Amino acid sequence: MSILVVGSVALDNIETPFGKKDNAVGGSAVYIALAANYFTKPVRVVGVVGDDFPQEYIDLLDVKMIDIEGLRVIEGGKTFRWGGRYHYDLNMRDTLFTELGVFENFDPVIPDSYKRSMYVCLGNIDPVLQKKVLLQIDKPRLVICDTMNYWIEGKPDDVAEILKLVDGLLINDSEARMLASNPNLIIAANAILEMGPRFVIIKKGEHGALLATKETIFFAPAYPLENIQDPTGAGDTFAGGFIGWLARTDDVSDENLKRAVIYASTLASFCVEEFGIDGIRDLSYLSIQDRFREFKNLSHVSS
Amino acid sequence: MSILVVGSVALDNIETPFGKKDNAVGGSAVYIALAANYFTKPVRVVGVVGDDFPQEYIDLLDVKMIDIEGLRVIEGGKTFRWGGRYHYDLNMRDTLFTELGVFENFDPVIPDSYKRSMYVCLGNIDPVLQKKVLLQIDKPRLVICDTMNYWIEGKPDDVAEILKLVDGLLINDSEARMLASNPNLIIAANAILEMGPRFVIIKKGEHGALLATKETIFFAPAYPLENIQDPTGAGDTFAGGFIGWLARTDDVSDENLKRAVIYASTLASFCVEEFGIDGIRDLSYLSIQDRFREFKNLSHVSS
């Protein structure tokens, strides 16, 4: 089944205690698309870059058969740039700079060939733009979106509106607490379900993720990695693995949402093992399956 | 199988956003014993109190058939008192006061009738005293201990020594990071295993717990409670449920350690639902079994 991904495409300067990389390709749309692309085709990207965006990155997406008809290149424009430095324990980071460039006036236009996409993943962008995307496409089978504190605080009414339009919300734990105004994640999850979506996935970093629907609650641990190089893009990779599995199986039952959460965690675990996109650049489907099975065993106990 | 519990017996003043309770019976030995007592008998307690310790609390332990021959009452002494106030999100607390009283000179003497206990749980006390307990008893089948930052920083050599003598360590996540000098919990768990114990259980509060042996890694989520009143004693209750299940089944295989972690989490989930010991004061074994089954389903996914 087809997947439509809308989000940022960026050049990142990343510093962690384990190294440093400048001008790495990044942005939510890139991580989501690379992860989802292991599960199904076509994966279609809508985004914007300047003409400083290196051709090698275009070629990379192209060679992976990711559909980039919707990736607009603005002549004379600058690509969105972000610089971040992670602390010792990798759970905290400082943003060193943000240069929005052409992303500041991003106005997602959905090509005709994208309009019948069945699965839609709205990366963490302005909720007004997220809504604009949904108004341009035929009714898809499933829409998920990400959001963040910046929008929850700055555009609460627009966030509330998008939550009525999507099937699922993916959100960090601190942002879930903020959105629901409650520190208890279970109460927060239920409060978010009251806001509209059929399911919510709360991402807890090294502590895994929790999936809640009206009928189900499910906990997935994070994969026990000793070697974490760079958490950049882990949340977006999670989203890409999640929607990728759903689109591949075309099954949105609660039980399959659980499997999708484990595939999401699986892809995120590969992501953090290397810098930038390197960890999810060239995986085999077999290695994904192997780690998925290990993941299931992490919390399995025989009766 | 018999269980020996050594730890503090205290009177607590507890404040949480949901209420306040003064002179509540507490201390690690009390929580551990109450939880373990649901699984097996006899549960034997070694501790010390002053003659201000209310008779009703003695009666409570007595009526539950907890063996308190080893609970010494010091005439004219004051029972250990602790006061704490929890923050809004219950993950942080301020200690308002600590009055050690008779606990300051606690010198655990193991009654003869306790010396052949098969399962031993050493609550979070001075590692020198933990070792002293082990020197007084016949070789038990399994010994677990708890410790904390205060001892890790203050008596690192004694902590290192006790880790060579016990089978398992139960420890908070922040303390595991400190003990292993590494922020990555998987690396920390493996480093702790190198220090001596056959297994380590890292308690992560609302994020559940992880069990590591040389061969196994296992994640148990925390039970998804909407109603958390008071986290006091949750870690000790966890330890009690853990050793209780092991002693009941007399099976220390890796697979049964996993089950014990879920029973531990089950008991801890009951504990935090009410103030002080109230949540684990009067449970039925059936209600424990029911919640254990729900717990297993929280992270189960069909293939």
Q: Is B35 on the interface with A (CB under 8 A)?
A: no
Q: Which residues of B257-285 are buried (b: 16+ CB within 10 A; e: fewer)?
A: bbbbbbbbbbbbbbbbbbbbbebbeebee
For residue A129, how many other CB atoms are within 10 A of its CB? 18
Q: Is B206 on the interface with A (CB under 8 A)?
A: yes
pLDDT digits (tens, 9 = 90+) for B242-281: 999 999 999 999 999 999 999 999 999 999 999 999 999 9
pLDDT bin (cut points 50, 70, 90) of residue A262 is: very high
Mean pLDDT score of chain A: 95
The Cα–Cα gap between B54 and B25 comes to 9
Which amino acid does the sequence have at A89?
D
According to DSSP, residue A222 is labeled: P
Query: According to the model, what pLDDT value does residue B92 have?
Result: 84
A207 vs B contacts (CB less than 8 Å): 204, 207-208
Q: What is the largest CA-CA distance in chain A?
A: 63
Q: Is B219 on the interface with A (CB under 8 A)?
A: yes
Domains delineated in chain B = 3-298 (3.40.1190.20)
pLDDT exceeds cutoff 80 at A89: no
Q: What is the 3-state secondary structure (H, E, C) of A116-181?
A: CCCEEEECCCCHHHHHHHHHHCCCCCEEEEECCHHHHHHCHHHHHHHHHHCCEEEEEHHHHHHHHC
pLDDT bin (cut points 50, 70, 90) of residue B90 is: confident
For residue B217, how many other CB atoms are within 10 A of its CB? 18
B210 vs A contacts (CB less than 8 Å): 221, 224
The Cα–Cα gap between B43 and B49 comes to 18
Q: How far is CA A63 from CA A3, A28, A36, A66, A285, in A?
A: 17, 19, 15, 8, 17
Q: Is B296 on the interface with A (CB under 8 A)?
A: yes
- Read off φ and ψ for residue B89, nearest 5 degrees: -95, 5
pLDDT exceeds cutoff 90 at B302: no
pLDDT bin (cut points 50, 70, 90) of residue B301 is: confident
Q: Under 8 Å CB-to-CB from A219, ≥6 apart: which residues?
A: A208, A209, A210, A299, B208, B221, B224, B298, B299
**Are the beta carbons of A186 and B225 separated by less than 8 Å?**
yes
Rounded to a whole number of angstroms, the CA Rg of chain A reads: 18
pLDDT bin (cut points 50, 70, 90) of residue A268 is: very high
pLDDT digits (tens, 9 = 90+) for B117-163: 999 999 999 999 999 999 999 999 999 999 999 999 999 999 999 99
Query: According to the model, what pLDDT value does residue B277 have?
Result: 97
Decide: A26 and A276 in contact? Cβ < 8 Å: yes
**Are the beta carbons of B208 and A210 separated by less than 8 Å?**
no
**Are the beta carbons of B226 and A190 separated by less than 8 Å?**
yes
Query: According to the model, what pLDDT value does residue B29 have?
Result: 98
Write down the residue that tokens 């956003």 correspond to.
B17
- Read off φ and ψ for residue A16, nearest 5 degrees: -130, 170
> Rounded to 5 degrees, what angle do the CA atoms A112, A113, A115 make?
65
Closest in B204, B220, B255 to A302, CB measured: B255
Q: Is A226 on the interface with B (CB under 8 A)?
A: yes
| Among the listed residues A127, A203, A191, A110, the one whose alpha carbon sits nearest the alpha carbon of residue A165 | A127
Nearest CA in chain A to B298: A218
Query: According to the model, what pLDDT value does residue A45 have?
Result: 98
- pTM of the prediction? 0.90
The Cα–Cα gap between B209 and A65 comes to 41
The Cα–Cα gap between B178 and B190 comes to 13
Q: Which residues of B132-163 are buried (b: 16+ CB within 10 A; e: fewer)?
A: bbbeebeebebbbbbbbeebbeebeebbeebb
**A230 to chain B nearest CA, in Å?**
13
β B168-172/B199-203 pair status: parallel
Write down the residue that tokens 């002693």 correspond to.
B247
pLDDT exceeds cutoff 90 at B300: no
- Return the axis-axis angle of helices A254-272 and A234-249, rounded to nearest 10°: 140
The stretch A95-103 carries a mean pLDDT of: 94
β A10-16/B209-213 pair status: unpaired
- Read off φ and ψ for residue B299, nearest 5 degrees: -125, 20
Q: Is A259 on the interface with B (CB under 8 A)?
A: yes
pLDDT bin (cut points 50, 70, 90) of residue A302 is: confident
pLDDT digits (tens, 9 = 90+) for B149-200: 999 999 999 999 999 999 999 999 999 999 999 989 999 999 999 999 999 9
Q: Is B228 on the interface with A (CB under 8 A)?
A: yes
Asked whether this complex has an ipTM greater than 0.85, the answer is: no
pLDDT exceeds cutoff 90 at A244: yes
| Among the listed residues A300, A217, A293, the one whose alpha carbon sits nearest the alpha carbon of residue B262 | A300
**Are the beta carbons of B187 and A226 separated by less than 8 Å?**
yes
Selection from A18-22, A85-89, A252-256 with the highest mean pLDDT: A252-256
Q: CA A162, A164, A165, A166 torsion: positive or negative?
A: positive
For residue B92, how many other CB atoms are within 10 A of its CB? 9
Closest in A89, A207, A259 to B301, CB measured: A259
> Rounded to 5 degrees, what angle do the CA atoms A283, A286, A291 make?
85
Q: How far is C-alpha B14 from the geometric centre of its chain's CA atoms? A: 18
pLDDT digits (tens, 9 = 90+) for A175-225: 999 999 998 999 999 999 999 999 999 999 889 999 999 999 999 998 888
**Are the beta carbons of A298 and B187 separated by less than 8 Å?**
no
Decide: A226 and A184 in contact? Cβ < 8 Å: no
Query: According to the model, what pLDDT value does residue A78 have?
Result: 97
**Are the beta carbons of B226 and A296 separated by less than 8 Å?**
no
Give the count of Cβ contacts less than 8 A between chain A and B: 86
**B169 to chain A nearest CA, in Å?**
19
The Cα–Cα gap between B150 and B126 comes to 9
β A19-26/A10-16 pair status: antiparallel
